[in-house]
Amino acid sequence: MDSGDAWVEGPDGQRFWGRFGAAGLLVHDLRRGVLLQHRADWSHFGGTWGLPGGARHAGESAVDGALREAAEEAAVPPDALHVLFESVLDLGFWSYTTVVAQAVRSFEPHMADVESIELRWVPVDQVVSLPLHPGFAASWPSLRARLAALSD
């Protein structure tokens, strides 16, 4: 267990994973869509679809944390990606950073630990058809708009 692997409790009693915040990786492949993770039933909001990610280590940047977590959970090779932008949800006492990257070469993710039920490339226009993790569902419209703006 890393020093960042712990719950943080907000003023209203809500719990968030990651003593130093958390980060997730949204990989976009122009041909296949975005890489999503079907979260293990035992995990926070288990059974929903979201991004490979998790708690950041002490002193770890959001980009490094997201890349590490995606490699650990989905065998995403960092050298197959070009980071495009970051989107931060900052609650003051805890933050979550979505790191958005473009696949610069094709790769096949595979479940590299027990945190996933499934990994899948999902066409951008079909993402909302899945039962999404609430945090990802809330951020998806703005993330999708920013991805679309980069394609224009």
Would you say residue 110 lies in a domain?
yes
- State mean pLDDT over 47-56: 94
Q: Is residue 140 a part of any domain in this protein?
A: yes
Q: Which domain holds residue 45?
A: 7-151
Amino acid found at 5: D
The residue written with tokens 């995990």 in the block is 43
Cα–Cα distance list, 101 to 10, 23, 61, 70 (Å): 30, 13, 15, 12
Q: How many domains does the chain have?
A: 1
Per-residue burial over 27-63, b = 16 or more CB atoms within 10 Å of its CB, e = otherwise: bbbeeebbbbbbbbeebeeeebbbbbbbbbbeebebb
What percentage of the chain exceeds 90 in pLDDT?
84
Residue 122 domain-assigned? yes
- Does any domain span residue 90? yes
pLDDT tens, position by position, 6-49? 999 999 999 999 999 999 999 999 999 999 999 887 887 888 99
pLDDT surpassing 90 at residue 115: no
The CATH number linked to 42 is 3.90.79.10
Measured between alpha carbons, how far is 87 from 150 in angstroms, rounded to an integer?
14
**Phi and psi at residue 60, to the nearest 5°:** -85, 135
Q: Rounded to an integer, what distance in angstroms lies between the CA atom of residue 113 and that of residue 91?
A: 29
Residue 112 has pLDDT above 90, yes or no: no
Residue 131: both structure tokens together: 């039962």
